[in-house]
Amino acid sequence: MPFLQIPERYKPAIKKLASLSDDAIKSLLTALSEVPLSINFEELIARTHKNVEGLGFSEVEELLEALLSLDSVKEEFDLQTNFISEINNAVSKGFPDLSESQQFQVQDKLVQLLDSDKAISLLSKIRKLHFDHERVYLNGKIITDIRPVFSSVLDQPPLAATISYILNITYRDLSDKKEFFVALDSKDIKQLREVIDRAENKAKQLKSLLSNAGVPHIDI
- Alpha-carbon gap, residue 11 to 103, rounded angstroms: 12
Q: What are 3-54's pLDDT values in tens digits?
A: 677 888 888 888 888 888 888 888 888 887 777 766 677 887 888 888 777 7
Amino acid sitting at position 114: L
Mean pLDDT of the chain: 83
Residue ranges of domains in the chain = 8-131, 136-210
In this predicted structure, what is the pLDDT of residue 76?
Answer: 56
Least confident of 8-17, 181-190, 195-204: 8-17
Q: What are 90-128's pLDDT values in tens digits?
A: 888 889 888 888 888 888 888 888 775 566 777 777 767
User: What does the DSSP assignment read for 140-170?
Assistant: EEEEEEEEEE--SSTTSPPSEEEEEEEEEEE
In this predicted structure, what is the pLDDT of residue 204?
Answer: 92
- Alpha-carbon gap, residue 122 to 195, rounded angstroms: 30
Least confident of 83-92, 159-168, 188-197: 83-92
Which has the closest alpha carbon to 71: 28, 122, 30, 109?
A: 122
pTM across the whole model = 0.58
